[in-house]
Amino acid sequence: GQQLNQSPQSMFIQEGEDVSMNCTSSSIFNTWLWYKQDPGEGPVLLIALYKAGELTSNGRLTAQFGITRKDSFLNISASIPSDVGIYFCAGDPNTGNQFYFGTGTSLTVIP
């Protein structure tokens, strides 16, 4: 299967700080998705990216589809306590709408 390397694995930040995380692949993807998962729940979609170079925002969240189509980035500005959770990237290499997921970034926000 496809390998998605997501980093960092975990982050501990102060409230108000900005956060950056990324996801890289060994092969080209045609779609990148970013999800957030709270404990005991399913992942919830944050941002979807469909074109190389695309930069999309959703409130304090901004994500980019890398030019090489092998990576994607998620930034969170001015973090707040409710940002706590696990963030996952997912990519579709367009081999039949199969999505592969990164191993997640666990975010802890210290008030």
Output the smallest distance, CB 40 to another protein, in A: 8
Q: Which two tokens stand for residue 97?
A: 């709408």
The backbone torsions φ and ψ at residue 35, rounded to the nearest 5 degrees and listed phi first, read -125, 155
CB-nearer residue toward another protein: 44 or 78 = 44
Catalog residues that contact another protein under the rule CB under 8 A: 1, 4, 6, 30-31, 33, 35, 40-45, 48, 50, 88, 90, 92, 94, 96-104
Output the smallest distance, CB 49 to another protein, in A: 10
b/e per residue, 50-82, with b = 16+ CB within 10 A? Answer: eebeeebeeeebbbbbbeebebbbbebeebeee
Output the smallest distance, CB 16 to another protein, in A: 29
CB-nearer residue toward another protein: 59 or 111 = 59
CB-nearer residue toward another protein: 13 or 48 = 48
